[in-house]
Amino acid sequence: MYFAGVDVGSLAIKVCLLDGEAKLVAYNIEKTMAKVREASEEAFKHCLGEAGLKPSDVAYIVATGYGRNLAASSFANEKITEITCHSRGARFLFPKCYTVIDVGGQDSKAIRLDDTGRVLKFAMNDKCAAGTGRFLEVMAEALGVKLEEMGEISLKSERKAPITSTCTVFAESEVISLLASGENPVNIIAGLHEAIAKRISSLAKQVGIRSDVVMTGGVAKNVGVVRALEEEIKEKIHVPQEPQIVGALGAALIAREKASQKAT
């Protein structure tokens, strides 16, 4: 029997399928479309197709993320908060993890775990684009570079151009002004990564940083942000092989447990 976790995020839907031994059988990541419920259903079906499975092969499904209510009302058995699911996924991948920093498309969160892996404390930024993937998207557009290339580009910088504003709109204006003054775009990107790292680090410090630190979410794929954040918090950051699916993985692990409890 198999178990599924579906993380319905603001920009992407992530699905993970586990077998009875908690081995990852398949996963996929798809864009969140306007019709969130239908998009979640399709993402789940696509993941089943990749694994060669039918819906009846899945014993239990847990939904998480901002759209978890829609998924739960459609095909999932239960909904669990993303704080719990990210914590569970991160601790599964990194057994010594005590601090989880998740930076997604439109929110960021810091989570402190206790010795058993339970959530001890968390802080979240879901009211402002600063410190999220959307911040980087806006800046990539202003600079005329590809979002996925920003991390590697920033590593070539000679210095970090100062970005003083924490507001996405004002920071974009700063970037345009810096370009107009002849500043090297590479240095601007490094400065942007430092700015986002400062924002995220202040969130992490609210919960108290303890090693090991694990970073999840799509922004964790940006090596420039990871390096800048390591400098800010003075800790090595562990990044999963596919950081975007950690919430869905945690949801699938919980689904496996729920199914086991119902069977006994």
In this predicted model, what pLDDT tens digit does every residue of 92-134 receive, in sequence order?
A: 999 999 999 999 888 899 999 999 999 999 999 877 777 888 8
- Residue 140: both structure tokens together: 């990539």
Contact 111, 207 (CB under 8 A): yes
Return the number of other C-beta atoms located less than 10 Å from residue 79's C-beta: 21
Q: What is the pTM of this model?
A: 0.93
> Cα Rg for the chain, rounded, in angstroms?
19
Residues 215 and 110 occupy one common structural domain: yes
Same domain for 104 and 205, yes or no, is yes
Domain count, the chain: 2
Q: How far is the C-alpha of 146 from the C-alpha of 155, rounded, in Å?
A: 15
- CATH number of the domain at 222, please: 3.30.420.40
Q: What is the pLDDT of residues 202-247, one digit of tens each?
A: 999 999 999 999 999 999 999 999 999 999 999 999 999 999 999 9
CB atoms within 10 A of CB 170: 13
Q: How far apart are CA 216 and CA 214, in angstroms?
A: 7
Cα 122–chain centre separation:
15
Residue range of the domain that includes 230: 96-239
Residues 196, 233: one domain?
yes
